[in-house]
Structure 1
Amino acid sequence: MSNFLPNALVRKLGVNPLFDQEAFLEAHENGLKLTSVRLNPYKPVDLDLKLSEAVPWCPEAYYLDERPKFTLDPLFHAGCYYVQEASSMFLAQIIKELGLDKDTVKALDLCAAPGGKSTLLNSVLSADSLLIANEIIKARANILEDNLMRWGLSNTIVTNNDPTAFRRLPGFFDLMVVDAPCSGSGMFRKDEDSIDEWSEANVKLCSERQRRILADVMPGLATHGYLIYSTCSYSEEENEQILDWLIDEYEFESVSIPIEESWGIEVTQSKKHEAKGYRFYPHKTRGEGFFVGVLRFKGIQPMFNIKKLKVEKSPVPIESLKHWIKDYQQFSTFVHHDFVHIFPKELEVYIKAAQQVLYLKNAGTMVGKWLGKELLPSHDLALSIHLSQDIPTTELNLKDAQNFLRKEPLDPSLFPENLKGWSLVNYKGQTLGWVKVLGNRVNNYYPKEIRIANL
């Protein structure tokens, strides 16, 4: 790929006297492809992957020496880890340094698909915090929903809304994460085809779109709330200049995040307000190109009146699910699109607020369809960390687990002779999904829309 990088981009980066153009070009020419994964702290297991060096700015994240075929690994489908680019995991360091991992917060991941930052927030924020993960594009929202379902937590809402919709929740969010659509220059090494789509005109268009997105969502940020803004672009117009624009337009102050010098992250300052930014270059860090800045809102925002909301009694009482949910007393239920969902009791009113003003793809944990006297359990419940441990389970070997993921019939001899009805199948102690044992046959209830076509 020698000399294929856009001259206009390299020339602008070279204005910085600290920029090592030769090393930057070499990092792209050598074709190195990095793979990193982040483990799910709620689903500890001995992985089949060969973990290498730890990602220094993110707990439970590791580089891999080689990239396996993740679709072959049942533990990937069980939500035991997420494949994520290492630079973007710096979000974990930010949350820790802001102390938000110790607070109860309401967080919005605005441009959330495919789900890397949302699953990270699920891991580092407290379990009694609320996360709304939003994606405006419907097809990508489906992927986001699937990835969060695998992660297994019930304190999460997945929405499919335009950023303007969040104006209807004024002053609601203590934390906003906006990983904005950008020109993508930071991904050139990972995706060479994206080079042909880059232009200075597209950078300008992206910068304008980023400002519109931020302006649309800004009323939803709480008084003294935090905005974490990021892109995978190297262009100053999409990064430091956006921080200056935010400070000009709104009452923000820049927040510094302590880092280790050995990490190779470059700390920058915007020209007008000296707002701190953090740049990741592939010749300096073990990751792809990335930019992030952190701002704190100093002004006073109008607040959404949560006290006006009335929580209606659910037609399916939580007691009816006690055989399916562990510690069921900690949860409330509500019915959404004919399916029963559970969510933490302390978040009940917040989910009601979201339900009134947003389009919800999913909320809490979808338990299943209530048929009057019995439950038709959902795949979400199978992967939930709140699933009862009293439900019968059968451990599968790798071959049988892969057959299950292909939605193939399983041999009845794999199951105990006296087992009848609903049962879970596991691999290495981690749940993969539901089967129904009916004597001489076993029905595989793995969802057909996510089955593995080629293994």
Structure 2
Amino acid sequence: MNEQLSHILGQLSPVAGAGRIDPAALLQAHEQAAVTSLRLNPRKPADLSFALTGQVPWCSTGRYLGERPVFTLDPLFHAGAYYVQEASSMFVQHAVEALADRTGPALRLLDLCAAPGGKSTLLAGLLRDEDLLIANEVIQPRAAILAENMSRWGQMNTWVTQNDPKDFTALGAYFDIMLIDAPCTGSGLWRKDEAAMDEWSPEHVKLCSERQKRIVADALPALKPGGLLLYATCSYSPEENEEVLDWLCDNFQLESQAVPVQEDWQIVETRSAAHQAYGYRFYPWKLQGEGFFLAAFRKPEDQEEAPQKKDRSEKKKGAAGAARKGKDESARWSRFMKVPLLAVERNEEFYGLHPVHQKDYEYLQPRLRIKKTGTALGKLAGKDEIPDHELALSIHLSAELPALEVSREEALLFMKKEEIRKEHALKGWQVVTFGGLGLGWGKWLPNRMNNYYPKNWRIRMDIR
């Protein structure tokens, strides 16, 4: 590995000033195992079965682990009690807390390149109920994974879309905060993914840099004047980092924002060559984390807003109208939730929204390809409701619903989609819980248990 890494370092463009890379330190860092870290879900407190060794300095819910357990065999992982995330990327929380006003009017946030969901679940943990996060991923399989992870996190004010960045232009200046964790060469993650070194080349760096600029340019009209842009990569190359910052200043007159950092965090502050824009580099030989880069910008207040475009798709308008004009089933579904909800119907499936987001839904639904709207509630079968799996994972689920607390062994069997406690006395629908957190639905009949855990979510590995 080190021979290949040394060869690549010889081709890597130098970083100016304090951000320069120490080749010997980088090589030494790559001889050590990557650090394992996770981020706790602040709305799903739980007693973890493995030891945490310390807090990630720049993230209040970030924790380090001494060794990596088999997360697949931990029911609390599936319940959304935590998200396994690289520590450096948790710096997004600190940047938002330092630069965004989260005490004023409701905020709209966009995580543009969101899969698999690490930064989206992080942002979700900072939201008030009236705020709204759109987590977007253009590639369908990755969007499906993103939707699953956002479902586990359990919030009703996080929606998932599957759109190209340019599609957001149709919204006009809609978002207060925009995070663009741009696709990159991934050189900062070589310690975790050695295969990524095989794909690295100066030509690939150039290709990624051009793609990063295009992605930001396509999405930027959807950011409000005065709005906050966070640009991030997991690359060491200045062509993907500081040079992109200068390009943004040249072409969009964005105002660079300094993010306050503590000296003992060992984060390296860099400045771009032309505009002295602030950037923040994370190096694995300086701190407990992988290679990462983040920069923050403010869109000028006096910059002219992009006009909101009328949607011209009559088919989409008709679908939105049908959702609004159909019978209101909100009261029917409200018994499942401990907060007020607005139930909207799409393709015979009901979704729960915070009522304050009704106008957002009516505006976004005809303009974006929404993959997950709020919380999936379920379907109707005559007088009965068939609850959706996502509803069992919701932080808003009513404590009055019948629930069955299970052991770890029973939880794993349930998630393998097997029957548990077939002779359970209480019949009908119940949410299966572990550590007080929902795992999914079961329906008990006189002589059997129907397991409604989704087939595509089930555990396939040996649990013994």
TM-score bracket, shorter-length normalisation: over 0.9
Task: Provide the residue aligned with 2:366 in structure 1.
Answer: 356
State whether residues 6 and 27 of structure 2, in contact with CA within 8 Å, keep that contact through their aligned partners in structure 1: no
Amino acid across the alignment from 1:439: P
Match of 2:77 in 1: 76
Q: Structure 1: how far apart are the matches of 2:14 and 2:172?
A: 42
TM-superposition CA deviations, 1:263-291 (whole Å, max 9, x none): 11000000000000000001011100000
Matches within 5 A, 1:30-45: 30-45=31-46
Corresponding residue number in structure 1 for 2:64:
63
Deviations 1:1-43 (A, max 9, x none): 2232153535646564643332122111x23221100000111
Whether 1:401 and 2:402 are equivalent positions in the alignment is no
Q: Which residue of 1 aligns with 2:333?
A: 321
**Amino acid of the structure 1 residue aligned with 2:335:** H
Q: CA deviation at 1:373?
A: 2.2
* 1:302 and 2:303 matched: no
Deviating more after overlay: 98-107 vs 249-258: 98-107
Which whole-Å CA distance do the structure 1 matches of 2:164 and 2:79 have between them?
30
Which of 376, 393, 402 is residue 386 of structure 2 equivalent to? 376
CA distance in 1, matches of 2:103, 2:84: 26
Residue-by-residue CA offset, 1:235-258 (whole Å, 9 max, x unaligned): 000001111111111131000110
Q: For residues 103-126 of structure 1, give each alpha carbon's deviation from its aligned partner in whole angstroms, at most 9, with x where no partner exists.
A: 421011000000000000000132
- Match of 1:423, SS state, is strand
Q: Is the 8 A contact 1:315 1:334 kept in 2?
A: no
2:86 aligns to what?
A: 85
> Identity over aligned residues, as a percent?
47
Contact 2:333 2:343 in 1 (8 A): no
Alignment correspondent of 2:271: 269
Say yes or no: does 1:410 pair with 2:414. Answer: no
Post-superposition offset of 1:100: 3.8
In structure 1, give the amino acid aligned to 2:199.
E
Q: Is the 8 A contact 1:434 1:446 kept in 2?
A: yes
Residue 282 (structure 2) aligned to one of 261, 272, 280 = 280
SS of match in other structure, 2:411:
helix
Q: CA deviation at 1:71?
A: 0.4
The residue number in structure 1 matching 2:314 is none
Partner of 1:389: 399
Q: Distance in 2 between matches of 1:204 and 1:15?
A: 16
Q: Of the candidates 247, 260, 285, which is equivalent to residue 258 of structure 1?
A: 260
CA distance in 1, matches of 2:98, 2:341: 31
Letter in 1 for 2:92: L
SS in 2 for 1:33: coil
Give the equivalent residue in structure 1 for 2:49: 48
Structure 1 contact 10–21 (Cα < 8 Å) conserved:
no
**C-alpha distance in 1 between matches for 2:103 and 2:196:** 39
Q: Is 1:127 paired with 2:129? A: yes
The aligned amino acid for 2:305 is: Q
Structure 1 counterpart SS, 2:2: coil
Equivalent AA in structure 1 for residue 361 of structure 2: I
Q: 1:203 and 2:205 equivalent?
A: yes
* Shift, 1:152, TM fit: 0.3
Contact 2:36–2:65 (CA under 8 A) maintained in structure 1: yes
Give the CA deviation at 1:333: 1.4
Post-superposition offset of 1:439:
1.3
Q: Which residue identity lines up with residue 424 of structure 1 in the other structure?
A: V
Amino acid at match of 2:390: D
SS at match of 2:324: coil
Residue identity in the other structure for 2:97: K
Name structure 1 gaps, 5 residues minimum: none
- What amino acid is aligned across from residue 111 of structure 1 in structure 2? C
Match of 1:428 among 431, 435, 438: 435
TM-score between both structures, scaled by the size of structure 2: 0.93
1:165 aligns with 2:172: no
Aligned mates of 2:124, 2:434 — CA distance in 1 = 23
Contact 1:6 1:195 in 2 (8 A): no
- In structure 1, distance between residues paired with 2:400 and 2:144: 31
Per the alignment, in what secondary structure is the counterpart of residue 208 of structure 1?
Answer: helix
Opposite residue 400 of structure 2, the aligned amino acid is D
The offset of 1:223, in angstroms, is 1.2
Query: Which structure 2 residue ranges, 5 or more long, are not aligned?
Result: 311-316
Q: Deviations for 1:175-213, whole angstroms, at most 9, x for unmatched residues?
A: 110000001110111111111110000000000111111
The 1:15/1:320 distance shift into structure 2, 3 A limit, reads: closer
Q: Distance in 2 between matches of 1:5 and 1:352?
A: 51
Q: Distance in 2 between matches of 1:287 and 1:16?
A: 22
Stretches of 4+ aligned residues off by more than 6 angstroms: 308-311
Aligned AA (1:319): A
Matched, 1:139 2:172: no
2:456 aligned residue (434, 438, 449):
449
> Structure 1 length normalisation: TM-score?
0.95
Post-superposition Cα deviations, 1:383-438, rounded to whole Å, max 9, x if no partner, equal 0111111111111111111000100111223x3x2x11101111111111100010
Tell me, yes or no, if the aligned pair for 1:223 and 1:300 is still in contact at 8 Å: yes
Kept in 2: contact 1:8–1:200 (CA 8 A): no
CA distance in 2, matches of 1:387, 1:249: 47
**Match runs of 1:338-349 below 5 Å:** 338-349=348-359
The change in CA–CA distance for 1:198 and 1:181 in structure 2 (over 3 A counts) is same
1:222–1:303 CA contact under 8 A, matched in 2: no
C-alpha separation in 2, matches of 1:172 and 1:17: 37
Contact 1:107 1:173 in 2 (8 A): yes
> 1:412 aligns to what SS in structure 2?
coil
3-state SS, counterpart of residue 226 of structure 2: strand
Q: Distance in 2 between matches of 1:233 and 1:61?
A: 22
Aligned length: 448
1:337 Cα deviation from its structure 2 partner: 2.2
Secondary structure of the 1:386 match is coil
CA distance in 2, matches of 1:100, 1:114: 27
**SS of residue matched to 2:365:** helix
Inter-partner Cα distance in structure 1 for 2:10 and 2:428: 63
Aligned Cα root-mean-square deviation (Å): 1.8
* Aligned-partner Cα distance in 1 for 2:308–2:381: 36
Give 3-state SS (helix, strand or coil) of 2:230's partner.
Answer: strand
**Cα shift at 1:145:** 0.2
